[in-house]
């Protein structure tokens, strides 16, 4: 007979307690414990006890097998995963509602060649999935669809089908029958994910698990969910813009520095082969307030357009607004221009925008932001064949950034004639490209060279 018991779980980290506590002893968060009814099966305990009967062995006696990565039809997803799909790995794909997570995974399932694929959905019917697959470009005969939420049913059918990988949409809809709690609860997510994880490791079948995002931008469910899986991929972007970014925040089998870029179209997600050219396609070189920055997202160099608008403040308090850029860093750069360069921007409104809907955290964009703000303030045009790549310090010094040669090569491919970088970069091979490299040490040197 199954036994019923009530337990309290921390909604932040998943810590389990027999009684309610005001402060979680694991993550030190307050008022995060929720009560859930849990059913423990004596049969499952017996199975688990047998699995744990393993003796320790010397690490030198363990035969380490090298698993060959399986290539996926999606080149950007291959890049983010580190070169392909590792057998037996579990990948969590998270993102905001409507950003395109299910579309991405359905495209991967429909375009996969060389093996069977099992697509499991607890949110859509079979007819809805088939209709969406036809809209995305066609059906794959080797793709099988299930609309169940019980992880045991998924495992049983996967044992019979032997697919190359499984897509589960989504983690919040999984409902293990041996648990009394409702789908989406902490215990359901933990136990269901643990069951699928054990199956993936024992059978060598890779699993893509789609997850939701909360209003705060964190992955819904307990924090332990991110620790359980092998890889965590965040699918982000603005629904009002075409571009979608695929970032890897955790990867046990590869690097977390890769970035995938897609473009949302009516027929689905399209891989962007040359994002720099698209991001600069609408740039106009005869208007003030526009500057080009050479940044690096992951290990991929990108050329983006920074737009600034400086105008007299209509109201008493000047406005400071930034889209795609940290507004606190904008305040810092404006203070540097005020203190070190003598520009009076305290009584003016300053608006900043990163074209294309991207969110940039690379500090190398600082010099382009400064140039765009001063270009708009003085109504002076920056030529379209000039770009910037350097960090600005609090004393107005130009600081070096990483991978400068990759940035220079990317700028040269797009027809950039001059690039401003820090004078602290040493041993730069200037003869590799035709681009003119201008090394500066202070913000004043950039302004003197650009605006006289």
> In the prediction, which pLDDT does 325 show?
95
> In the prediction, which pLDDT does 42 show?
45
DSSP 207-225: EEEEE-B-TTSSBSS-THH
Q: What is the largest CA-CA distance in the chain?
A: 85
Mind listing the domains of the chain with CATH numbers?
1-45 (no CATH), 69-271 (3.40.50.300), 277-451 (3.30.230.10)
Under 8 Å between Cβ of 13 and 224: yes
Closest CA to 232 of 409, 28, 81, 35: 81
> In the prediction, which pLDDT does 281 show?
65
> If you search the block for the tokens 């199954």, which residue do you land on?
2
> In the prediction, which pLDDT does 3 show?
56
Q: What backbone torsions phi and psi does residue 385 show, to the nearest 5 degrees? A: -100, 20
DSSP 40-82: E-HHHHHHHHHHT------GGGS--PPPPPBP-S-HHHHHHHT
Q: How far apart are CA 209 and CA 394, in angstroms?
A: 44
Return the C-alpha torsion angle 363, 366, 369, 371, nearest 10: -150
Under 8 Å between Cβ of 442 and 394: no
> In the prediction, which pLDDT does 198 show?
94
What is the Cβ-side half-sphere exposure of residue 119, based on CA atoms within 13 angstroms? Answer: 26
Name 359's Cβ contacts closer than 8 Å, sequence gap at least 6: 236, 324, 325
Q: What backbone torsions phi and psi does residue 197 show, to the nearest 5 degrees? A: -65, -40
Name the DSSP class of 270.
Answer: E
Q: How far apart are CA 211 and CA 201, in angstroms?
A: 20
Q: What is the pLDDT along the chain (452 residues), one digit of tens a residue?
A: 455 677 888 877 778 888 899 999 888 889 888 887 765 544 444 333 444 456 898 888 887 766 678 888 898 999 899 888 999 999 999 998 888 999 999 999 999 988 899 999 999 999 999 999 999 888 999 999 999 999 999 999 999 999 999 999 989 999 988 887 888 888 889 889 999 999 999 999 999 999 988 777 778 777 788 989 999 999 987 666 678 889 899 999 988 878 888 988 888 899 888 888 777 766 656 789 999 999 998 788 999 999 999 998 877 789 999 999 999 999 999 999 999 888 888 889 999 999 877 889 899 999 999 999 999 999 999 998 999 999 999 999 999 999 999 999 999 988 899 999 999 998 787 666 789 999 999 999 998 888 76
**Annotated binding residues, as ranges?**
95-102
Peptide bond connecting 170 to the previous residue in cis, omega within 30 degrees of 0: yes
**Annotated binding residues for ATP, as ranges?**
95-102
Q: What is the pTM of this model?
A: 0.79
DSSP 152-216: HHHHHHHHHH--SEEEEE-GGG---TT--SPTTSHHHHHHHHHHHHHHHHHH--EEEEEE-B-TT
Q: How far apart are CA 183 and CA 186, in angstroms?
A: 9
> In the prediction, which pLDDT does 184 show?
84
> In the prediction, which pLDDT does 158 show?
95
Q: How far apart are CA 399 and CA 393, in angstroms?
A: 7
Name 376's Cβ contacts closer than 8 Å, sequence gap at least 6: 288, 289, 308, 309, 310
Name the DSSP class of 363.
Answer: G
> If you search the block for the tokens 């400064």, which residue do you land on?
370
Q: How far apart are CA 440 and CA 443, in angstroms?
A: 8
> In the prediction, which pLDDT does 353 show?
94
The per-residue b/e assignment along 213-229, b for 16 or more CB within 10 angstroms, e otherwise, is beeeeebbbbbbbbebb
Question: Strand (E) positions, 81-116?
Answer: 90-95
């Amino acid at each position: 007979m199954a036994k019923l018991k009530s337990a309290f779980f921390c909604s932040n980290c998943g810590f389990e307690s027999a009684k309610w506590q005001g402060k979680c002893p694991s993550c030190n968060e307050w008022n995060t414990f929720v009560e859930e009814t849990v059913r423990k099966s004596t049969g499952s305990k017996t199975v688990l006890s047998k699995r744990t009967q393993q003796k320790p062995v010397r690490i030198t006696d363990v035969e380490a097998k090298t698993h060959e990565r399986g290539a996926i039809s999606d080149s950007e997803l291959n890049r983010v995963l580190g070169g392909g799909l590792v057998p037996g790995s579990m990948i969590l794909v998270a993102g905001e509602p409507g950003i395109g997570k299910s579309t991405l995974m359905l495209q991967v399932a429909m375009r996969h060649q060389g093996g069977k694929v099992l697509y499991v959905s607890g949110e859509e019917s079979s007819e809805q999935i088939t209709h969406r697959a036809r809209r995305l470009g066609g059906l794959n005969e080797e793709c099988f669809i299930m609309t169940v939420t019980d992880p045991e049913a998924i495992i049983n059918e996967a044992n019979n089908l032997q697919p190359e990988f499984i897509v589960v949409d989504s983690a919040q809809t999984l409902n293990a029958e041996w648990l009394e709690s409702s789908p989406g609860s902490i215990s359901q997510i933990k136990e269901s994910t643990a069951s699928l994880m054990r199956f993936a490791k024992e059978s060598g079948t890779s699993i893509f698990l789609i997850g939701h995002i909360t209003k705060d931008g964190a992955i819904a469910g307990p924090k332990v969910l991110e620790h359980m899986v092998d890889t965590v991929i965040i699918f982000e972007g603005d629904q009002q813009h075409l571009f979608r970014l695929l970032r890897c925040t955790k990867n046990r089998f590869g690097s977390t520095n890769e970035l995938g870029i897609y473009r949302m179209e009516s027929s689905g997600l399209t891989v962007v082969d040359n994002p720099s050219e698209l991001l600069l396609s609408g740039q106009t070189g005869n208007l003030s307030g526009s500057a080009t920055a050479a940044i690096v997202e992951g290990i991929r160099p990108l050329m983006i357009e920074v737009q600034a608008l400086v105008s007299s403040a209509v109201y008493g308090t000047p406005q400071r607004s930034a889209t795609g850029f940290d507004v606190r860093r904008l305040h810092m750069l404006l203070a540097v221009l005020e203190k070190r360069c003598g520009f009076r921007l305290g009584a003016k409104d300053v608006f900043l925008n990163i074209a294309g809907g991207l969110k940039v955290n690379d500090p190398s964009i600082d010099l382009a932001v400064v140039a765009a703000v001063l270009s708009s303030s003085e109504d002076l045009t920056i030529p379209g064949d000039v770009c910037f790549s350097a960090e600005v310090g609090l004393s107005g010094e130009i600081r070096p950034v990483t991978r400068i040669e990759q940035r220079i090569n990317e700028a040269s491919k797009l027809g950039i004639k001059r690039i401003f970088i820090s004078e602290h970069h040493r041993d730069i091979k200037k003869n590799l490209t035709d681009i003119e490299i201008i090394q500066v040490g202070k913000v004043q040197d950039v302004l003197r060279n650009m605006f006289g």
